[in-house]
């Protein structure tokens, strides 16, 4: 239990010649809730996508729950089983019902029997408050409902860590809060979370730490109180004035 | 919706109202509808008059009787249908060819039913279907007389070549499509080169190469029988085109789908089988049905390497001096056989589209 949930050292990422991540260092304790913010193109998505190998890093080390993320396929699979991800555009499987979306991975990856997987799925669908939509297809749901299904789908793998990449930025304003409510309740249950989001209210309420990125670097980090009221850097202050300014 | 509808709409059965809306909504459309209807009716009448009213059906009838009646001479089919269906297959043994046809058709129909779409079930259906067909057609065991592949022919041969092409070609096409999308450049490039090479050749030259040239190159024990080499060639040709159709379908699948599956820890083979291919096939369905239809038609090309399939058997059916006058009837009959198949396939395509549409909004 002394092993941190995530430990990133000197992480480098290039897209061709473009230097997207410049030596990122980050340690996330178990149960810690982190909000990542920063201007567009600053590398927030790239960083969290490196954690479950949706992007391959070019330098430095990433260690997740004691497992080193390297070219070893076994390690990658092990990490992906323990790290869930929620995407901006939900990425539900459109040809499967909500229930099938939720049972697929447990059955294929964890070899959970069908009945058990369905019971598990229903439990998490209740948790995100849409058990009545289980037999519908994703295309028949609203954006907010789809995103909650996506969260339930991740939870069905019983991950240790959940990554969120702007989970509410594709949603209409009236649906944002239903998703944030679910995320807040997850946070209160001790899930280790890294959320890329510009929802400052959410950050203030649940985050243990806010990380501010700009141009591929972590420019500053601290408690939400510190960061939102008195940013230590000019870039941080400038970003906050832009986000909160309108 | 149009100006004519402004008056009180008489309440009639829905069909009647729909008829009015679709065909008689304005004077111009009424005129066009009446003209088209009249044209269809007269064509239909001419065909009916020729094909039924004045037609001769009696098997004993020959040219004089038929010409006296003035209509179609279906006697040719009554006399020569066995040749059309079974080609040069020994007359006494043709019941085996008929049963083999049934085996192929059953295999085909079962493969089309979604319940059978798991690796194990499809493999079982195909293996069983092929075995039944092979034992029945070839014989030489279970007390059945040996009938060599050169003697196979007619509808049985056409169906067999088509189904074997599809069953071997489809997995090959999927493999090609996946390999062409490989992240390893040399695999992707090599596969791309193979696909493009096959697609740049006409089917005839591929059949010729496989049937005639290959035996000189390959050692004796590989694909000795010409029929199987021809099927291999035709499957390769099918796969090259179908691979591109599937790849096109894959490009329509959002990148986020694979990322979501990866983030759930689902391994590659399941991502392909459960996420990528079902969506790719859905996108590629119309083109795939089209490819099947083309492939079915193209089976008639095997005649150039010496096979006696449906169309060439039909040619032989009116090839005797007795029946040369009745070639139209024979062609109509064969066209009808092709039509049944192609029509069935297109209805099946429509069914699949409807079935898949339930998944969308
Ligand atoms: N696949 C890619 N190929 C090339 N460049 C990329 C790729 N993905 C991201 N980048 C670049 O890397 C930089 C960081 O991208 P990233 O998506 O991590 O930014 P972000 O902080 O998530 O921004 P946003 O708030 O807009 O989502 C951007 O400049 C982007 O253009
Ligand atoms: Mg982003």
Looking at residue A27, its pLDDT comes to: 95
C-alpha span between B288 and B292 (Å, rounded): 6
Pocket test for ligand 1, best of A12, A14, A44 (most atoms within 8 A of CB): A44
Query: Residue B274: helix, strand or coil by DSSP?
Result: helix
What are the Cα distances from residue A216, in Å, to A10, A18, A20, B137, B328? 12, 10, 5, 69, 76
Question: What mean pLDDT comes out for the span B207-213?
Answer: 85
Question: What mean pLDDT comes out for the span B313-335?
Answer: 83
Q: Does A15 touch chain B (CB under 8 A)?
A: no
Q: Give percent of chain B above pLDDT 90.
A: 36
Residues with Cβ within 8 Å of A132's Cβ and at least 6 positions away in sequence, in order, are: none
CATH, range B89-360:
1.10.3720.10
> Is 90 exceeded by the pLDDT of residue B326?
no
Q: What token pair was written down for B188?
A: 């992707």
Give one DSSP letter per residue of B303-341, joined into a string. Answer: GGGT-EEHHHHHHHHT-STTTGGGHHHHHHHHHHHHHHH
Q: What token pair was written down for B69?
A: 């009646």
C-alpha span between A128 and A154 (Å, rounded): 12
C-alpha span between B257 and A93 (Å, rounded): 7
> Is 70 exceeded by the pLDDT of residue B6?
no
Query: Residue B95: helix, strand or coil by DSSP?
Result: helix
Look at the block and give the residue holding tokens 């729950």: A65
- Around ligand 1, the residues with Cβ closer than 6 Å are A 15, 18, 20, 38, 40-46
C-alpha span between B347 and B196 (Å, rounded): 31
pLDDT band at B322 (very low <50, low <70, confident <90, very high): confident
Query: Residue B358: helix, strand or coil by DSSP?
Result: coil
Q: Are strands A217-222 and A209-214 parallel, antiparallel or unpaired?
A: antiparallel
Q: Does A154 touch chain B (CB under 8 A)?
A: yes
> Is 50 exceeded by the pLDDT of residue B2?
no
Q: Which residue of A has its CA nearest to B270?
A: A108
What's the whole-number average pLDDT of chain B? 86
Q: What token pair was written down for B49?
A: 């008059």
Query: Residue A102: helix, strand or coil by DSSP?
Result: helix
Q: What token pair was written down for A133?
A: 């939509």
Give one DSSP letter per residue of B177-197, joined into a string. Answer: HHHHT-SSHHHHHHHHHHHHH
Q: What are phi and psi of A18, to 5 degrees?
A: -80, 125
* Beta-bridge partner residues of A220: A212
Tens of pLDDT, residues B335-348: 998 899 889 988 99
Selecting from B263, B360, B361 the residue whose C-beta is nearest the C-beta of A84 gives B263
Q: Buried b / exposed e across A198-218, counting CB within 10 Å, b at 16+?
A: bbbebbbebbebbbbbbebbb
The ipTM value here is: 0.93
Q: Which residue of A has its CA nearest to B273?
A: A108
Residues with Cβ within 8 Å of A178's Cβ and at least 6 positions away in sequence, in order, are: A129, A144, A148
Selecting from B256, B263, B270 the residue whose C-beta is nearest the C-beta of A80 gives B263
How many Cβ pairs within 8 Å bridge chains A and B? Answer: 73
Q: Does B356 touch chain A (CB under 8 A)?
A: yes
Tens-level pLDDT at each residue, chain A (246 residues): 578 999 999 999 999 999 999 999 999 999 999 999 999 999 999 999 999 999 999 999 999 999 999 888 889 999 999 999 999 999 999 999 999 999 999 999 999 999 999 999 999 999 999 999 999 999 999 999 999 999 999 999 999 999 999 999 999 988 999 999 999 999 999 899 999 998 989 999 999 999 999 999 999 999 999 999 999 999 999 999 888 765
Looking at residue B313, its pLDDT comes to: 84
Q: Does A45 touch chain B (CB under 8 A)?
A: no
Q: Does A95 touch chain B (CB under 8 A)?
A: yes
Torsion over CA: B318, B324, B325, B327 (sign): positive
Q: What token pair was written down for B47?
A: 């065909």
Domain extents for chain B?
18-50, 89-360
Tens of pLDDT, residues B136-162: 888 888 888 888 888 888 888 888 899
Q: Which residue of B has its CA nearest to A98?
A: B359
Mean pLDDT check: name the lowest of A207-211, B64-68, B258-262: B64-68
Question: What mean pLDDT comes out for the span B299-319?
Answer: 81
* Beta-bridge partner residues of A140: none
> Is 90 exceeded by the pLDDT of residue B309?
no
Looking at residue A207, its pLDDT comes to: 94
Residues of chain B contacting A51 with CB distance shorter than 8 Å: none
> Is 60 exceeded by the pLDDT of residue B1?
no
Q: What is the DSSP letter of B184?
A: S
Looking at residue B222, its pLDDT comes to: 67
Bigger pLDDT: B42 vs B315: B42
Cβ(B226)–Cβ(B153) below 8 Å: no
CA-proximal residue: ligand 1, atom 26 (nearest): A40
Q: What token pair was written down for B352?
A: 């699949």
Q: Give percent of chain A above pLDDT 70.
A: 99
Tens of pLDDT, residues B79-111: 888 888 888 888 888 898 899 889 999 998 998
CA–chain centroid gap for A227, Å, is 21
């Amino acid at each position: 239990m002394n092993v941190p949930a995530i430990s990133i050292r000197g992480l480098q990422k290039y897209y061709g010649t473009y230097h997207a991540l410049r030596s990122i260092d980050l340690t996330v304790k178990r149960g810690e809730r982190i909000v990542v913010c920063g201007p567009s193109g600053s590398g927030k998505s790239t960083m969290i996508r490196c954690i479950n190998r949706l992007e391959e890093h070019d330098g430095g080390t990433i260690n997740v729950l004691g497992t080193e993320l390297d070219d070893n396929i076994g390690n990658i699979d092990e990490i992906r089983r323990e790290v869930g991800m929620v995407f901006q555009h939900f990425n539900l499987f459109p040809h499967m019902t909500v229930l099938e979306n939720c049972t697929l991975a447990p059955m294929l990856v964890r070899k959970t029997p069908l009945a058990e997987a369905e019971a598990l799925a229903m439990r998490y669908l209740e948790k995100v408050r849409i058990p009545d939509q289980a037999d519908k297809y994703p295309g028949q749901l609203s954006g907010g409902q789809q995103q909650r299904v996506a969260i339930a789908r991740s939870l069905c793998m019983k991950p240790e860590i959940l990554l969120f990449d702007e989970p509410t930025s594709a949603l209409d304003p009236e649906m944002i809060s239903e998703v944030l409510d679910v995320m807040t309740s997850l946070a209160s249950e001790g899930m280790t979370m890294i959320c890329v989001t510009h929802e400052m209210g959410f950050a203030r309420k649940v985050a243990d730490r806010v990380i501010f990125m700009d141009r591929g670097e972590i420019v500053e980090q601290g408690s939400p109180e510190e960061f939102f009221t008195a940013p230590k850097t000019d870039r941080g202050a400038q970003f906050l004035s832009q986000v909160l300014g309108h | 919706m149009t100006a004519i509808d402004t008056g009180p709409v008489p309440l009639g059965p829905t069909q009647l109202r729909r008829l009015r809306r679709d065909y008689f909504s304005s004077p111009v459309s009424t005129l066009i509808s009446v003209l088209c209807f009249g044209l269809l009716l007269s064509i239909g009448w001419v065909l009916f008059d020729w094909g039924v009213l004045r037609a001769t059906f009696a098997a004993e009838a020959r040219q004089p009787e038929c010409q006296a009646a003035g209509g179609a001479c279906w006697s040719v089919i009554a006399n020569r249908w066995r040749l059309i269906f079974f080609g040069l297959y020994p007359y006494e043994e043709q019941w085996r060819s008929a049963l083999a046809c049934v085996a192929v058709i059953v295999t085909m129909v079962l493969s089309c039913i979604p319940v059978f779409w798991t690796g194990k079930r499809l493999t079982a259906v195909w293996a069983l279907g092929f075995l039944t067909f092979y034992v029945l057609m070839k014989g030489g065991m279970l007390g059945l007389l040996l009938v060599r592949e050169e003697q196979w022919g007619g509808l049985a041969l056409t169906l067999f070549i088509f189904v074997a092409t599809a069953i071997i070609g489809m997995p090959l096409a999927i493999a090609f499509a996946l390999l062409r999308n490989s992240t390893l450049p040399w695999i992707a490039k090599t596969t791309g080169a193979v696909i493009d090479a096959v697609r740049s050749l006409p089917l005839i030259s591929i059949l010729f190469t496989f049937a005639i040239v290959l035996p000189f190159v390959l050692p004796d024990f590989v694909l000795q029988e010409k029929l199987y080499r021809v099927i291999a060639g035709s499957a390769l040709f099918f796969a090259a085109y179908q691979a591109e159709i599937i790849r096109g379908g894959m490009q329509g699948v959002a990148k986020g789908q694979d990322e979501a599956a990866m983030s759930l820890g689902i391994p590659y083979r399941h991502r392909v089988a459960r996420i990528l291919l079902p969506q790719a096939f859905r996108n590629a369905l119309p083109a795939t049905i089209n490819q099947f239809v083309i492939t079915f038609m193209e089976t008639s090309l095997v005649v150039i390497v010496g096979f006696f399939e449906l169309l060439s058997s039909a040619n032989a059916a009116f090839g005797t001096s007795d029946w040369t006058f009745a070639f139209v009837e024979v062609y109509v009959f064969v066209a009808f056989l092709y039509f049944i198949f192609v029509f069935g396939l297109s209805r099946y395509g429509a069914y699949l589209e409807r079935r898949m549409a339930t998944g969308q909004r």
